[in-house]
């Protein structure tokens, strides 16, 4: 199999999130999520980065509709412990999911959510978890 990238292949993605205050968002990502501030353009646009992940912020004066993002990490349990220690808002506790991920969800200071996890292996189909046609979720009744 040829893994080289062609000119039309996606190389990586960068989320652009609307925020009330770019510098405030950058400080939150730095202080709570462990990012580094990459750059700021005037007061309306900026970026942070963590490892190979970069997030752009754009100042928004109107309604902010929260975005969802998924982030792969080497160990979700260790990431959760670090975020909890820094005071991150945990909106969904860590659990092993039938789709083969161990993950948890945090919310930033503008309402954007990040599901953070690591792979635990192949997904389990609904037939394998009870045949109801619905994927069973840990803690669901």
Decide if 34 is inside a domain.
yes
Distance of CA 89 to the CA centre of its chain: 13
C-alpha distances in Å from residue 32, one per residue of 3, 10, 66, 141: 36, 30, 18, 33
Domain count, the chain: 1
Decide if 134 is inside a domain.
no
Decide if 8 is inside a domain.
no
Decide if 140 is inside a domain.
no
Query: What's the CA gap between 56 and 124, in Å, rounded?
Result: 34
Query: What's the CA gap between 99 and 103, in Å, rounded?
Result: 11
Q: What is the pLDDT of residues 36-48, one digit of tens each?
A: 999 999 999 999 9
CATH number of the domain enclosing 49: 3.10.180.10
Helices of type H across 7-139? 22-31, 76-85
Query: What's the CA gap between 64 and 77, in Å, rounded?
Result: 30
Profile the chain (141 residues) by mean pLDDT over runs of 10 residues: 79 91 98 97 96 95 95 96 97 96 97 96 73 47 40
Tell me what pLDDT residue 138 has: 47
Tell me what pLDDT residue 13 has: 84
Decide if 41 is inside a domain.
yes
Tell me what pLDDT residue 130 has: 61
Tell me what pLDDT residue 125 has: 75
pTM over 0.95: no
Query: Which residues constitute the domain of residue 105?
Result: 15-128
Tell me what pLDDT residue 122 has: 86
């Amino acid at each position: 199999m040829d893994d080289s990238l062609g000119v039309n292949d996606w190389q990586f993605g960068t989320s652009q999130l609307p925020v009330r205050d770019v510098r405030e968002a950058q400080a939150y990502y730095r202080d709570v999520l462990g990012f580094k501030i990459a750059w700021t353009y005037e007061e309306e646009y900026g970026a942070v980065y963590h490892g190979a992940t970069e997030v752009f912020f754009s100042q928004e004066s109107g309604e902010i509709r929260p975005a969802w993002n998924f982030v792969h990490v080497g160990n979700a349990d260790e990431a959760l412990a670090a975020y909890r220690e820094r005071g991150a808002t945990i909106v969904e506790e860590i659990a092993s999911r039938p789709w083969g991920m161990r993950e948890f969800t945090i919310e930033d200071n503008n309402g954007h959510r990040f599901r953070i996890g690591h792979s635990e292996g192949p997904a389990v189909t609904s037939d394998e978890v009870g045949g109801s046609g619905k994927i069973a979720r840990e803690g669901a009744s």
